[in-house]
Structure 1
Amino acid sequence: MLKSEKYPHPLSQANFTQLNDDEGGLNLGQVGAVLRRRLLLIGGTTALVATAAVLKAETDPPVYQGTFDILTKPVTGEDKAIANVPQTINSQDKISPPESTRDVQTTITVLQSPRVLNPIVEKLQAQYPDLTYDSLVYYLTITSSKPNILNIQYTNSDQKLVSDVLKLLADAYLQYSLQERQSDVEVAIKFVDQQKQPLVKGLKYWQDQLRNLRLDNNLIEPAQKAQELSTQIATLRQQRIENRVQLEQMVAKYEELQKELAQEPGERAGNSLLSDNVRYQKILDQIQAADIAIKQQSAVFTDENPAMVTLRQKKEYLLPLLAQEEARVQKDFQSRIREMSARDRALDEKINNGYSEVRKLATVSRNYDNIQRELQIANEALTQFTTKQQSLQIEKAQKQQPWLLLDPKLTRVNEPLAVSDSAKRNLALGGLLGLLLGIGTALVVDKLSNIFYSSQELKDATRLPLLGIVPLRKELEVATKDNLSRGVQNSDGASFFEVFRSLYTNILLLGSDTPIRSLVISSAGQGDGKSTIATQLAQAAAAMGQRVLLVDANLRAPSLHNRVGLMNIQGLTDVISQDLDWHNVIEPSPLEENMFVMPAGPIPPDSVRLLASQKMHNLMEELQVSFDLVIYDTPPLLGFADAYLLAANTDGLVLVAGLGKLKRTALQQALEQIQISGTPLLGLIANKSKDAAPVSYQYYQQYYKQSVSGEKVSAEKVTANANSSSLTKTKRS
């Protein structure tokens, strides 16, 4: 059994959808190819239309054209006055941007309106009765090629009418600009007056706010007040530090005094605190002297002695005085401690009050800054609007026209300003129109042709594997075996033959696990070059060492025997109908050593019956076993069932598409039939390609030329060396 569905390529509905979509439009890549193919049609259409335009221009009466330029935005006194004032209306640098395209179009529309042109028509109708508003606008052109400059052109066959119209147009446009300027100035003055009232009120409001803030907080400048508070707080903090140091020292002395007072009077003599007190020290000295006297007298007198009694009374009198002095010293220390503590509390209170005032002053300062800023903004805005009002008043008093004629003499002469070259203009317009018409015609004609012209179109339309691209050649230079052995094949023929080697390699790569042993080559219709492709492919495979059999299965119109230089006496028809041995029918091809050919033989009355027979099926199995590759050349797919019958018993079908001939509808119909029949499709071959040769084809040409050139040089060197040796031997003889 043959593996008939071994390498099928699925033909999904997406392929047909893509093909239909391609029929609906051209992509950008196809447009360039279409224009190149239809270059002659485009050139002819362009030349025809341009010639017709020139002939029409020569038959028309002479046309006169007048023109003048108007500067629409000269520098005015107002502009100079407010050039450096930002945020004002019509400010050149800030608010008013450069004149936009929309503003220019609006101005042009107004200048062409009946309001401006009807007075001109009424003045000229007495002299030119046929002149109307529509005819005047039709030949009037206003453009702006440069900023703030309008170019006015009027064209007519009447030379005097052109001059009169231009003169009146210039006067009308200048007068219009003056009226518009006066109107704009009046509107601007009203606007400025309206805007100044809120500014005056706002300025007064913020001035009142500033005055109230200063009165409520008793300050002139918050920054100065803040500096004073900061200095005052720093001074108070320093005083508090000094007072606390003194208080701590006083408390320490008082504690030390308490310790000393707890001692006996005799032990206090060395105390520095009490010794500093003169009165205390004097009383203490008297007590100590009394004690000494008592001790001295006690050795002489008894206790009842009056002298002893007097001394004891004196001591007892002095002790209360000493106690009073101690109490006074303690009260003095306590008083000073209370005084310093009170001062510390007072300093704390003052410092806290100072911090409170600083915090309050921060809020006041922020409000002050906000009022100052708003006051400055209001003052500047009022100043700007006042300046603007003065400038507008000056501008209103002036009668100078804001628009200026760049050359006033151009509108005062009665001679034609310019004579247009109608022939040149019509030639340019006609050429452009003809080019566009030619391009459109080329696209339509190419679309209606419904033909594939490039391999990329074929690949994009079908989304099927493109096995190879065969360049278009007028004559296929097929070298014979003798020519190949003698090396007379030129580089072009060798490189063209290399395309088929690459094609066969691509077919081999389709079956990486099991090689492809047989295939059918067919096409959608006649003239696609399938027989040529089959012959060249067989020759390429044989040249690569394969044992190849080329079978002419086109029993309706056999032609392979003519291509390979054989006779069609016996062939496939005789093998099937007369039970001839196929070994006796095949013949070696003169083109390649491993290539064999089975001609078609006599044309049978019913080729389909022969190809569908069991004998044909058995024959195909034997041939596939006996040869490395069997190629069947069949009739076209459309209208004939031969190719489908054979492809079912091979590894697949190769479809040849002749570029420049194959129609999209024919290919679509053939693909639909292949899908319905379930025929395994290996891929497509784009034949007769007029595109640039594939990169591999170009590289092979360069390589072949370099190789041939190198071999030629080497041969010349060998010949020269041989001649030189022969000459040397002759001389020696």
Structure 2
Amino acid sequence: MPDPLPSPDELLPPGTLVTLGASSGQVVLIPQEAETQPAPGGSEELKLGNLLPILRRRQRLLVAVFAATVAIGAAATLFQRVVSPVYQGDFRLLVSDPIDASSTEGAADSSLRALALQPQDRANTPVLIEVLTSPLLLEPIAQRLNVSPDKIASGLKIVSGGDASGVMDVSLLWDDRREGQQILEAISAEYLAFSMRQRQERLAQGLEFLDTQAPVLQQGVVELQQQLSSFRRQNSFLDPSSQGEAIQTQRQALNVRLDDLRQTEAKLLGMASAVGSGMLTGPQVQGSAGDPGSGSQDKPAQGTMTTTTSSLLGDLTDLEKQLAEAEASFSPTSPQVRSLRSRVNQLRPLLQRRKLDSIKATLAENRSEQAEVNRQALQLSRQFATNPNLVKQYEAIEQRLEIARANLSTYIKTREDFRLEVAQRTRPWRIISPPEFEDTPDKPNLRNSLMLSILIGGVAGVGAALLRDRLDHVFHQPQDVEDGLGLPLLGRLPFLPVQDGLSITEVVEGMEPEARFGLRESLRNLFSSFRLLRADKVVRLFSVTSTVELEGKSTASALFAQTMADLGQRVLLVDADLRRPSLHRLMSVANGEGLSNLLTEPTLQPERLIQPISERLDLITAGPAPPDATKLLSSERCSALVEQIRSLPGYDVVLFDTPPSLALSDALLLSEHLDGTVFLVSLQQVDRDLPAQALRRIRSFGVDILGLITNQVTKSSGSDIYAYGYGYSPIPAGAATTIKATSKRAEWKGANRLMRWLNDRG
């Protein structure tokens, strides 16, 4: 009964994706870890770290594109400079306001002139440039010289003269230097005439404006004079400032009088308090309210009252003196003493009332006078408060009158100046650098054109290199493989044109001597590198694998095994590609029983299936294709079989030819039991991203990667690497490919040689 068909999980190991190969369109199985990698030659973002290696790989293409671009740019520049040169002429123009209002002395004159002229914004240089390049000025010139005004406008350029205020740099580009000189001179003359016309126009407008303002200014002066005269009549003074000073003097005198009255009032209050306490011998209240001790002829009643008070005081003093003498001579109860004491007691109250009445009368008079002084001071204060407003009104009217008179005087002077300037013919603009055309062409500029060509050439070269690298995303040189994958390069194999029906020995013998010599030397170098691989580990069983199919892996395995046998090693070659075996065809033996039988039949011994190829080279073929090669290689029988082969006596090296490692897991499952694997990379065929993915997958299985082999190295990639100086000349270009070259490809040999040269590093 036949074996059942394997399940999808058995056919496709877990974590694989199905995609199309980059070179041959075959179906390839890619591990899951490679899913996040960019598609071959696809839209991987360019990183700065990858830019320099790409430019090194494509340096010849970069230099060729750069040189071609610079050469084309230089040739175009020279052609244009000889055939259609463009000359430049220029002149400098001092530009000022056609009527400069600031030229007249005096701020008032300048303001009136500016108002009369109504100047445009002088700082608006772009507007002035637009006017100077407008058809208004260029069309008359074009008509006189019979040229196109649009051509003049396109070649005319006006810029401000940098830090120099009011300076314009005028330049003109023209293909005929003599005609350009005429046009430039006509432009300069037209600009001067334009400034003169603008001057006369604005002067006439200003003079007309001044004439319309004359009646208004005169009427203003008359009205202000009448207003000032009326103000003086209404307030009854000529000068409000002198009247204010008189009011201030009167206010000061009243303040002094009020202070005196307040001092007298305080004294009278003190006297009243003393009399009320019984002290009757103090100072007498005499005179006016302003001076208690002075006499007053104006107040007879008050004076009589003061005389009476003084008489009573004298009588009281005499009685008190007599009482004192009586008390000294008589007893207190004597009639004389009692009589005198009675008279004193009667006279004292009377004197006290008289004194108090006199003080009260004087206080009343004092307070009445204070009220009068306050009333007069208040009236003067009101007059003084009103006076500043009058002064302000007076000064305001007088100031407006002075301004009106000054304006009228300035107007008269300005109008006379305008009449004089109208009669003059002075041009406000000046040519400070005459119109002149250069003898040498200005365009094309050799320096600028060369710099632009270099810049464009650099960009084009880098762009061409990047584009070529993305479209031709393969390895071209062995050094690229070593640098890109970071593994040691063991050997480099040249192209071997294998043909169906011929063994590997027949193909090698059919090569030309130079090519055959180079192939053998490259294989011997590979063997030498292989022997130095592991100083601390014996490498006896190893495999050879690649990224995808059709990279020449089996051919390289057969050649390497044959070379090791020729160099004295006893070699066993095992065809472990159970899906597409090819070693039996290369060795011209039958593919009967082989490795697949050993894996499925545990009792079968390897010695029975060994086929001798040469004296030191034996072969175990793949055998019949099993339904599930992955299942066989992952079984315990595979591990035991490898140990059986390892224990075979007499073999120095056992080489397993395995399937591609990126497509299938067969090579990885088998290599787990070996001492390591050698990874082969074909040049100019496999996408340069795929080998790195395959190597990551191999490392994920814990397989020791011994090194790299590059295949299909041609002269363009190797550059005479096989001419060792043994009397052989360098390999002629295309000699290695003569076996399968066709007549059609021979026609394109030159183009192919150029492309190979561009792809090479140089």
Q: TM-score, normalised by structure 2?
A: 0.47
Q: TM-score, normalised by structure 1?
A: 0.49
Structure number with the higher helix fraction is: 1
